[in-house]
Structure 1
Amino acid sequence: QCFPQVERGSYFPGDAYAIYKNKFNVGSLIELELEFRTSELNGVLLSVSEPQGYPALSLELQNGKVVMNGDMGDRRPFQVVQGFATEYTACDNRWHRIQVTYIKDELTLKVDNLEQSYWLSDNGHLTQASTNSPLYIGGLPEHAPIGTLESRENFRGCIRNVIINGEWRDW
């Protein structure tokens, strides 16, 4: 089959994943951006978790919403959700841009041109996630801990323009 238009990015068929970095430390600051397009309601976009399941940070599509989950290591998970007009808005097979910033005790999530959603820590003492595990994009292997993910369902669609802490990857 020939494709009339070729675009940058990586296709994830639903049974694959990429490793952004084998030993990734979330720390007290993470800035990430990525673009995705899919026709599916669910799928893992990004995940890092220590073997015991925490600290962990994850980004996924969940019933048509973009959901960011985290646990800084105190087993007090947090969640930021970006909903849309309908559950099918994010799975319209068009490009959508996600921007996430985590600084010490605040997490912000912005999708496309919508107003940003945020979470502010109330624990007052834990302001970083010390991770030293693989950062997976598009899914994760069976042996990897689920961490803060709601589902193990790998992403099906395209991901491009992945920028984490100023470092750009586009496979």
Structure 2
Amino acid sequence: GDMFNDGRWHHVEFKRHGNRGKLYVNGLLMGEKISEGDTQNLDVIPELFLGGIKQELREELPVQRNLMRVTTGFVGCLREFIHRRKRIGKWSKNNSNGVIACSDMVEQGSFFGSKGGHILVQPRYRVGMDFDINMDIKPRNISGILLAIQGRKDYLILQMIDGAIQFTADNGRGPIFSSFKPKTTFSLCDGKWHRIQAVKAKNVVTVSVDGIFSPAAIGVPGVSSTDTNHGLYIGGHPKKRRLRGLSTQHDYVGCMRNIVIESKPLEIEPEMTSGDISLNSCSLI
């Protein structure tokens, strides 16, 4: 089929007359269907959602069925919405749902603003023996939390401290940490993307920046499991004052993308975010 994610604008038109529906893209008829049965009318709530639907609707089975289980929101720009030959003027944009104005001066990623915020990936996460996280960051501050997972005693934390990247794990017998120190304090705030990888293998931790690994740190032999049972947070934490192993009180500020946890790419949904975070686009200004 045709690909439409080519960076250009495309005109999409859907027409329904009675039980017949037609879909046009860029003026070409792409599909036509007739619904079964004799009904000519649609019995629906007269409310239009653009680019996505409310979280509570997403979880309803009839809605999932109608949407063929596609419940993720649209990522991109929308403009010139016309309904029944009338131009819809001011749309009520909901910034808290990650909707921002369109601009060419943006790039892919999630932006963590200066007011602070975090992403709750999972409310109860057990690290266990091994853990691996990758992310691309373009920071605008030299200090901030990248990842935090706490237990009653054990914890795992990845943070920027004065321009360095430090990865710490505590399996219950004291912290084990590995730190990557770049050439200067501001090396990672150079307006370029940097690939971060943090690995915990039993009682060994190491961290890499742009493929260069710091020396591995080794903890007490035989004490291998990080027994956490609290949330896995990215970019910040709601209870920073109570975090063990934390060397900064700042949430991360800057852009972040391509987060992969345990070989699984992270799909960030709006309801996972809290605070000053814009999903799917980062300003280049």
> Residues 17-59 of structure 1: CA distance to partner in whole angstroms, max 9, x if unpaired?
0011111111001111011111211000000112x4x200100
Compute the displacement of 1:108 (Å): 1.8
Q: Of the two, which has the highest radius of gyration?
A: 2
Answer yes or no: is the 8 Å Cα contact 2:168–2:205 preserved in 1.
no
Distance in 1, matches of 2:119 and 2:142, equals 20
Q: TM-score, normalised by structure 1?
A: 0.90
C-alpha distance 5-111 of structure 1, shift in aligned 2 (>3 A): same
- RMSD of aligned Cα (Å): 1.7
The one-letter code of the counterpart of 1:26 is V
Comparing 19-28 and 6-15, the one that deviates more: 6-15
**Does the 8 Å CA contact 2:171/2:225 hold for their aligned counterparts?**
yes
| TM-score, normalised via structure 2 length | 0.55
Aligned equivalent of 2:104: 4
Q: Secondary structure at the match of 1:117?
A: coil
% of aligned pairs identical? 26
For residues 132 and 19 of structure 1, what CA distance do their matches in structure 2 show?
13
Structure 2 gap segments, 5+ residues each: 1-100, 269-285
CA distance in 1, matches of 2:122, 2:166: 22
Mapping of 1:153-168 within 5 angstroms? 153-168=250-265
1:90 to 154, 177, 188: 188
Q: Indicate the larger mover: 27-36 or 100-109.
A: 100-109
Amino acid at match of 1:73: G
Mapping of 1:68-107 within 5 angstroms? 68-74=167-173, 76-107=174-205
Report which structure shows greater RCO (CA 8 Å, sep ≥6).
1
The structure 1 residue matched to 2:237, chosen from 119, 133, 140, is 140
Alignment map for 1:20-99 (pairs within 5 Å): 20-50=121-151, 52=152, 54-74=153-173, 76-99=174-197
Distance in 2 between residues matched to 1:28 and 1:114, nearest whole Å: 24
* Structure 1: gaps spanning 5 or more residues: none
Q: SS of the counterpart of 2:117?
A: coil
Q: Equivalent residue for 2:218?
A: 120
TM-superposed deviation, 1:170: 4.3
Aligned length: 167
Q: Report the Cα distance in structure 1 between the residues aligned to 2:242 and 2:150, rounded to whole angstroms.
A: 6
Q: Distance in 2 between matches of 1:69 and 1:115?
A: 15
SS state at 2:123 partner = strand
- 1:4-27 per-residue CA deviation (whole Å, 9 max, x = no partner) reads 243222111131100111111110
Deviation at 1:144, TM superposition (A): 7.1
